[in-house]
């Protein structure tokens, strides 16, 4: 019986020892883990007593201050950093910590190995087993990169704000209720409000009802299509403070939070009054140009850089018999499959104006053709070609030439030469017919282009006076000599 009781007590003690051993093993493992974390941490870690003397430091601390373990452990802060620096920069913070306060601050530290670095420093009171503050723990984290990023963001924000405040366009932000939360100084010259007057107002206060409905519809579409669509550019009208309507162009963008939810709208607004005037003037000019082209009797067409017909006026459609938009110009105008041998397309594409005269192989008529470049805003060039049928004119000229050469009367065409006072002093032969040659004995090739006094220097002056009077007054004179 006693032996059984003894075994039972012994079993309890063994179990208790096993439990204590397990707890000890866990404590040892935790201690190893803490040591490993302490040793390998990228933060600067150190334990110091109330005399500011180093008890523990990790590798990062040792490495970055550029000293050995034996030069740190057992030494005080003033010994490492100098008494003046300690008294002015470290002691006030440490003493607050030793009174039970967790102290945190940021400082630019000049390390021996790293140079100047921004460090986020925390002093935490260290309590012994009895709960008394026996020292403090230093935890330092290098935040130089974070500081650089913050500074870059500050500079960028300042630059963008400066840009926003000085741009000609209105830069604004609105919440999802279409209430303005920010607007730059450009609001004043455009709409007559100060930013302070405008911020807090709603879009509905500054837009005609129909335009407001249009804007709401556009932003609703953007919201529905997010994130596939985030931007919208459109024209609208705002009210000036004096009540006048101002045409504007809006470029708006929906801004999302980190979870992809819309939080506000930002954008810019531009005064397009001058552009509207220019568009109206251009539209009127185009309408006038089209009216002129539609009414003119001469046939005309516009050709693209790749020889395709882009436009034909009614006279050209009537002459061709159909509207040939999109077809090759040489096929439509002359019935040939290849580029015309007389084509001036390349010259016109270089910006030249070219006039030609051809006999159309389709109808055997003679045309005077004017080819001009049309310059487009995208930099491309089209060719405007205007046809004038001069078949009858050329026939009259041929008939005139035949009459001129066959007539029995002598005929000469002359150009009168006057002095500075406007008095006739000579004349130049421009053309003569065969009968003139027979009567005078003067050959055309010997006198055309020459003056009377060059041909016959002794000619009486009254001949020049008579012919000069006819040329200058337009009155015919009949006389014999």
pLDDT, one tens digit per residue, over 302-344 is 999 999 999 999 989 998 899 999 999 999 888 888 888 889 9
pLDDT at 436: 87
Cβ(324)–Cβ(332) under 8 Å? yes
Does 13 have pLDDT greater than 80?
A: no
Q: How far is CA 335 from CA 190, 363, 390, in A?
A: 58, 10, 20
Task: Give the residue-averaged pLDDT of 422-431.
Answer: 91
Task: Give the residue-averaged pLDDT of 434-452.
Answer: 88
**% the chain with pLDDT above 70:** 88
CA torsion 468-471-476-480 (nearest 10°) is 30
Range scoring the smallest mean pLDDT among 105-114, 206-215, 250-259, 434-443: 105-114
β-sheet with 309-312: strand ranges across: 309-312, 299-303, 381-389, 366-375, 354-359
pLDDT band for position 23 (cuts 50, 70, 90):
low
Higher pLDDT, 209 or 284: 209
What is the CB neighbour count within 10 angstroms for residue 47? Answer: 17
pLDDT at 426: 93
pLDDT band for position 24 (cuts 50, 70, 90):
low
Does 48 have pLDDT greater than 80?
A: yes
pLDDT at 162: 56
pLDDT at 165: 57
Does 166 have pLDDT greater than 70?
A: no
In DSSP notation, 12-24 reads HHHHHHHHHHHHH
pLDDT band for position 34 (cuts 50, 70, 90):
very low
pLDDT band for position 379 (cuts 50, 70, 90):
confident
Cβ(199)–Cβ(182) under 8 Å? yes
Does 100 have pLDDT greater than 80?
A: yes
pLDDT at 283: 81
Range scoring the smallest mean pLDDT among 73-82, 165-174, 256-265, 449-458: 165-174
Nearest-angstrom CA–CA distance, 246 and 457: 78
Output Rg (C-alpha) for the chain, integer angstroms: 50
- E-strand ranges in 219-298 read 231-239, 245-256, 262-271
Q: How far is CA 4 from CA 12, 17, 156, in A?
A: 13, 20, 84
pLDDT at 397: 74
Does 136 have pLDDT greater than 60?
A: yes
Does 457 have pLDDT greater than 70?
A: yes
pLDDT at 29: 54
> What does pTM read for this prediction?
0.40
pLDDT at 20: 59
Instruction: Report the DSSP pairing between strands 54-57 and 44-49.
Output: antiparallel
Higher pLDDT, 48 or 292: 48
Nearest-angstrom CA–CA distance, 149 and 146: 5
SS3 of the chain: helix, strand, coil, percent, to 5: 45, 30, 30
pLDDT at 12: 66
Does 22 have pLDDT greater than 80?
A: no
Does 456 have pLDDT greater than 80?
A: yes
**% the chain with pLDDT above 90:** 26
What is the rounded average pLDDT for all residues in the chain?
A: 84
Does 392 have pLDDT greater than 70?
A: yes
Range scoring the smallest mean pLDDT among 110-114, 250-254, 350-354: 110-114
pLDDT digits (tens, 9 = 90+) for 406-419: 777 888 888 999 99
pLDDT digits (tens, 9 = 90+) for 362-375: 888 888 989 999 88
């Amino acid at each position: 019986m006693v032996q059984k009781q003894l075994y039972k007590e012994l079993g309890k003690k063994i179990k208790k020892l096993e439990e204590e051993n397990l707890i000890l093993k866990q404590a040892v493992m935790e201690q190893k883990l803490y040591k490993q974390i302490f040793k390998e941490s990228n933060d600067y870690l150190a334990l110091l007593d109330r005399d500011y003397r180093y008890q523990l430091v990790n590798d990062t601390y040792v490495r970055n201050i550029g000293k050995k373990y034996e030069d740190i452990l057992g030494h005080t802060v003033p010994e490492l950093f100098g008494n003046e620096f300690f008294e002015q920069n470290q002691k006030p913070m440490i003493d607050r910590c030793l009174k039970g306060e967790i102290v945190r601050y940021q400082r630019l530290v000049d390390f021996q190995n790293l140079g100047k670095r921004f460090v986020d420093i925390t002093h935490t009171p260290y309590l012994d087993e009895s709960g008394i503050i026996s020292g403090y723990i230093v935890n330092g984290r290098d935040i130089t990169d974070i500081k650089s990023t913050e500074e870059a963001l500050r500079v960028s924000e300042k630059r963008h704000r400066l840009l926003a405040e000085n741009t000609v366009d209105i830069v604004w932000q609105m919440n999802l209720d279409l209430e303005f939360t920010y607007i730059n100084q450009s609001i004043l010259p455009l709409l007559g409000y100060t930013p302070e007057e405008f911020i807090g107002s709603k879009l509905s206060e500054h837009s005609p009802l129909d335009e407001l409905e249009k804007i709401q519809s556009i932003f609703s579409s953007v919201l529905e299509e997010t994130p596939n669509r985030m931007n919208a550019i459109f024209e609208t009208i705002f009210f000036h403070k004096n009540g006048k309507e101002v045409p504007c162009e809006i470029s708006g963008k929906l801004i999302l939070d980190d979870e992809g939810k819309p939080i506000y709208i930002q954008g810019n607004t531009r005064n397009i009054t001058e552009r509207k005037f220019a568009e109206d003037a251009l539209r009127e000019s185009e309408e006038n140009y089209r009216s002129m082209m539609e009414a003119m009797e001469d046939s005309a067409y516009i050709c693209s850089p790749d020889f395709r017909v882009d436009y034909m006026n009614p006279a050209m459609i009537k002459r061709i018999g159909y509207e040939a938009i999109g077809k090759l110009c040489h096929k439509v105008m002359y019935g040939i499959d290849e580029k015309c041998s007389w084509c001036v397309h390349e010259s016109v594409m270089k910006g030249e104006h070219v006039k030609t005269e051809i006999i159309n192989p389709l109808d055997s008529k003679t045309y005077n053709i004017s080819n001009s470049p049309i310059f487009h805003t995208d930099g491309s060039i089209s060719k405007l070609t205007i046809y004038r049928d001069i078949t009858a004119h050329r026939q009259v000229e041929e008939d005139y030439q035949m009459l001129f050469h066959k007539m029995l009367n002598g005929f000469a065409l002359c150009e009168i030469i006057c002095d500075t006072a406007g008095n006739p002093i000579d004349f130049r032969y421009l053309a003569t017919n065969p009968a003139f040659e027979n009567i005078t004995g003067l050959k055309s090739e010997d006198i055309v282009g020459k003056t009377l006094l060059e041909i016959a220097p002794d000619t009486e002056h009254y001949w020049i006076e008579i012919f000069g009077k006819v040329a200058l007054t337009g009155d015919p004179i009949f006389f014999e000599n």
